[in-house]
Chain A
Amino acid sequence: MAMTSGARPDSYLGAPYGLAAWLLTKDHKRIAILYLISITIFFAVGGLFAIGVRSELMTPKGDLLSADMYNKLFTLHGVVMIFFFLIPSIPATLGNFLIPIMIGAKDLAFPRINLLSWYIYVVGALVTLVAVFAGGVDTGWTFYTPYSSISSTTAVTWAAVGVFITGFSSILTGLNFIVTVHRMRAPGMTWFRLPLFVWSHYATSLVMILGTPVIAITVLLVAAERSLNLGIFDPARGGDPVLFQHLFWFYSHPAVYIMILPGMGVISELVAAISRKQVFGYAFVAFSSLAIAIIGFLVWGHHLFVSSQSIYAGLVFSIITMLVAVPSAVKTFNWTATMYKGSVTWESPTYFVVGFMGLFVIGGLTGLFLGTIGLDVHLSDTYFVVAHFHYIMVGGAIMAYMGGLHFWWPKMTGRMFNDVWARASAIMIFVGFNLTFFPQFVLGYLGMPRRYHAYPEEFQVLNVLSTAGASILGLAYLLPMVYFTISIFKGAPAPANPWGAKGLEWEVPSPPPTFNFDEEPVVTEPAYNYKPGREVTVG
């Protein structure tokens, strides 16, 4: 790669040189960059599918696309965005890059498995692309049976196999993080001195390990049923479609925590840095990550409220769903308390943090609406659900991802970017996002179903607003691609600690050398030690 890093010639970017040195690397930082490029490509692919969806929805009649084509577009939008962008995004880029440095290690526990996880991602992505070109998939990203296993005539098997393969990328990443955090911490780096970014990625990894295998076997069963006419989910032979839903959502609900927990880790880091303060209630935030991961496994039935799941089970799942909101709320209160009376400076990461806070709160609270069975009967499969999850996944997770990218960009590339443009793009993303998705809450409440390409006339105004917002949002996401790219060639060389933040990653050069540290660090201070004095001890 001929891109010059602004800083040292012996950084991880410079040496060793050449394509093979990148494609066969064992360096976690290079693997993070490989992932960064891949997921950005798939973000664009998923965005293209969204353009198709929102274009059709500008007019009430299904006049732009056939119903079948529309089904394929929203399905592929979901599949690509979830499996090939959101789930890997923060862990495979920022997590891979930062975790070893943050804990004072030279690399992750299993560098070759890290590289393997990227190759598995690429293979899974290519297999799924085959599905796109072999006729698409029209089942929805949820692959509900028996439509997916029997009736659909689209390339479901290819997509199912693609998702199956990519799941192992996630599993190997999680495995690596768990062993690394347990076994590779530098001397003095006790659990309660770890950055909260590490705690959230540890919790995320627990979810990856325990949940992903179940969706793996489930999509494998769908593929097997399609190709071998097996009958496991075939109602004509006594198969139970609700069994598929249980197995699917056992993973796919915790999967949303795979998508948000790393974002929360980013926010914890950014909040401390922009406020120049220890995170309020550090231990509570750390334990909340674990609580979200664990309780998140106990609520999947809230996706089955309107199926034939027993009402009794629905009640149990509903109550636990209320509980899972608590640790998220704890974190939100603690971040706010951290910023209160902090010396907050308003660079671009701050904009993303503030944007996250508002949008995550809206997204999270509307989840409680949906978790209430009585309300869910009316709101299920409407645009209310669509708005809810986009508020969390885009307003929350992607905002956090952008904030993290901006915050650690100087560290990863050794270059400063133009912060004026960055702040402008943060504002444009915020405005575009709300214009796209807030009307969808109203549409859902008014009864517009999701996954329909035509709708009653009276919903048009809100749909047009939503599409207008989506256009702004799409352009807003292009901006960082431009100024980040420019920064690589023209940005000022970045110092080791451009934000004046605390953390081991800010004590190594920007960009870091291949083995991170010249000598193994010894940690003697708590995390976020902006005001030396009290150390958090637990137990």
Chain B
Amino acid sequence: MASHVHTQNAHGAHGEHEHNPNLQHHFYSMDQQLEASTLGMWVFLVTEIMFFGGLFMAYIVYRTMYPDAWMSGSQQLNVPLGAMNTAVLIVSSLTMALAVRAAMVGNRRGQIRNLILTILLGTTFLVVKYFEYKSKFDHHLVPGDHFVAPAGLETMAPQLQIFMSLYFVMTGVHAAHMVVGIVLMSVILFMAWRGRFGPQYYTPVEVSGLYWHFVDIVWIFLFPLLYLLGFHLGGAAH
């Protein structure tokens, strides 16, 4: 395969190589940079789908094996707090989408406002999570040596521990992703405050937004599968 090294920017409609200071040298246009970055983030999110997927696989297998323990375990979770956290994340996804939009049109105030809101909402989620976890500790529902099955459920104590293990790992890994997301958004907020983004260049906002929405989507599945499973049997609301 011979190449014929021509002097030409042979990329059809794009004409001259751009000189936007945000264009990295190995890309030939801002569009290519944005598209490559978006594709790259989606490929990364596919790895996240498979990462959480392993946990969902464990959930499915054990739920099939221990349906009663799964029902009872679910009843130990706090549905009002879980539902509220779901709503918090949905609002944060709205504010995130609005922040990206603000960057696309160069609205600096809008970016700052929506990014701050997103960060606040994410932090709210984590604070609520902290109280949920604390409650589990207080009620001896943490698997391991200090686990005490709730009254009447002693025979399924072992399998309840597996449910609680998955609860902690799944929501814990999710919470870790939220922390990363909040740190990421803080960096984006700083850059937005410095006026770095506009119609020519908003790639970091878009790409970080994708990550944020994905973390929201994981929660959209975690909430019904963990919290609502035994809701019709009454919640213990720990």
Contact = CB atoms under 8 A, between A and B. Distances in A.
Interface of A: 104-111, 113, 171, 175-176, 178-179, 182-184, 186-188, 193, 195, 209-214, 216-218, 220-221, 224-225, 228-232, 236-240, 243, 246-247, 250, 502-504, 507, 515, 517-529
Could you say which of B32, B39, B52, B69 has the most chain A C-beta atoms within 10 Å of its C-beta?
B39
B46 A210 contact: yes
Given A217-B51, A231-B162, 16 more contacts: A105-B26, A179-B39, A193-B1, A209-B46, A210-B47, A213-B53, A213-B54, A225-B165, A228-B144, A231-B143, A231-B158, A237-B162, A238-B66, A502-B1, A520-B6, A523-B3
Q: Which 4 A-B pairs have the closest CB atoms?
A: A521-B3, A217-B54, A237-B158, A213-B51
B2 A502 contact: yes
Nearest to B142: A228
Contacts of B65: 238, 240
Interface of B: 1-11, 24-26, 28, 32, 35-36, 39-40, 43-44, 46-55, 57-58, 61-62, 65-66, 69, 143-145, 158-159, 161-162, 165-166, 168-169, 173
B170 to A, nearest CB: 10
Nearest to B144: A229
Contacts of A529: 1-2
5 contacts: A110-B40, A184-B26, A229-B143, A240-B65, A518-B5
A220 B51 CA distance: 10
A214 B57 CA distance: 10
B7 A214 contact: no
A229 B51 contact: no
Contact of A525 (B2, B52, B54, B66): B2
A522 B1 contact: no
Contacts of B25: 106-107, 515
A186 B161 CA distance: 56
Given A231-B165, A237-B159, A521 B50 contact: no
A523 B10 CA distance: 11
A171 B45 CA distance: 11
A60 to B, nearest CB: 42
Could you say which of B8, B26, B39, B49 has the most chain A C-beta atoms within 10 Å of its C-beta?
B26
Contacts of B52: 217
Contacts of A503: 1
Chain B contact surface mostly: helix
B192 to A, nearest CB: 21
A295 B57 CA distance: 20
A271 to B, nearest CB: 15
B149 to A, nearest CB: 12
Nearest to B49: A213
A229 B145 contact: yes
A213 B26 contact: no
Contact of B4 (A107, A210, A228, A521): A521
Given A110-B40, A175-B40, A213-B48, A522 B8 contact: yes
A159 B193 CA distance: 43
Contacts of A209: 43, 46-47, 50
Nearest to A102: B1
Contact of A231 (B49, B53, B161): B161
A184 B36 contact: yes
Nearest to A236: B158
A239 B36 contact: no
A525 B36 contact: no
A179 B40 contact: yes
A195 B1 contact: yes
A522 B161 contact: no
A520 B8 contact: yes
B134 to A, nearest CB: 17
Contacts of A113: 40
Could you say which of A176, A231, A518 has the most chain B C-beta atoms within 10 Å of its C-beta?
A231
A176 B37 CA distance: 10
Given A230-B143, A231-B143, A521-B5, A214 B50 contact: yes
Given A179-B43, A212-B47, A230-B169, A504 B1 contact: yes
